[in-house]
A = this chain, B = another copy of it.
Amino acid sequence: MMNSTHAHGHGPDLAALAGLLADSTRASFCLALLDGRAWTATELARHAGVAASTATGHLNLLVTGGLLAQERQGRHRYVRLADSDTAALIENLASRAPRRAAPTGSLPAVSRSRALARARTCYDHLAGALGVAITRAMTDRGLLDWERGLTITGDGTAWLAELGITLTPTNRRPPVRSCLDWTERRPHLAGTVGAALCLHAFDAGWITRIGTTRAVAITDTGQRALREHLGLTEDSKHMDSFPQPQCTSS
């Protein structure tokens, strides 16, 4: 038999951390913050459908728990995910969480969620069908290599340079990272390369935000650029084959 540490022993307090995300309101906050921006307390409260006072309590928990970073400006309390690691953790969790039954969504709600599934930001990189298609195209063209762990190839860095993207190597965050897409159930590209690519797509006018949501629309310039640089056509974004249905976590 085992040493009976009686559950209250030494190790990491997993329950405390998980408990932060175990409430539907707090989870809703975190998922909303996955867009990478800073939200005010009332925005989050309204988004989750709770009173402002309730939101305050939840935000206190999340901030002291280290999941969120806050910044006070005048009468506003801005809050965002603590760092990209935290974002990755939440993505990771979300991707393996069960789907919530959509409550007979209204017509505009359906159209919104379809836009979201087509192309969206995921913290600081691209996700949805677009994100997955880009990742697949980059793999097909030998810019990414999945053989022995996900890496960017020499061709890949050259390709980035062609686009005018230069990477400043950080030793804190990996250059490329696989992130399981929760609508596509396939991996898309994250890490500093994924972030830089997303930033470039905004700067070069390939994509624009739809309203103030996480969803993005592909512009005409974007269509041309994707075809030119990656050979991506409209229908190639819905192919089902992917070389490596890679590990969800990493």
Contact = CB atoms under 8 A, between A and B. Distances in A.
Contact of A7 (B50, B99, B250): B50
A187 B152 CA distance: 21
A93 B49 contact: no
A176 interface: yes
A18 B7 contact: no
Contact of A15 (B9, B12, B26, B32): B26
B152 A2 contact: no
Contacts of A72: none
Interface in A92-108: 92-100, 102-103, 105
B172 A149 contact: no
A175 B98 CA distance: 27
Contacts of A21: 14-15, 18, 22
A27 B10 contact: no
A208 interface: no
A233 interface: no
Interface residues of A, number: 82
Contacts of A182: 11-12
Interface string A72-116: 000000000000010011101111111110110100010011000
* Copies of this protein in the complex: 2
Nearest to A32: B2
Contact of A47 (B7, B17, B26): B7
A10 B171 contact: no
A13 B95 CA distance: 10
Nearest to A250: B250
A157 to B, nearest CB: 8
Given A8-B100, A16-B98, 19 more contacts: A2-B47, A3-B47, A4-B47, A6-B49, A7-B24, A7-B48, A12-B99, A15-B22, A15-B27, A16-B100, A17-B96, A19-B22, A65-B98, A88-B249, A149-B152, A149-B177, A150-B174, A172-B245, A177-B250
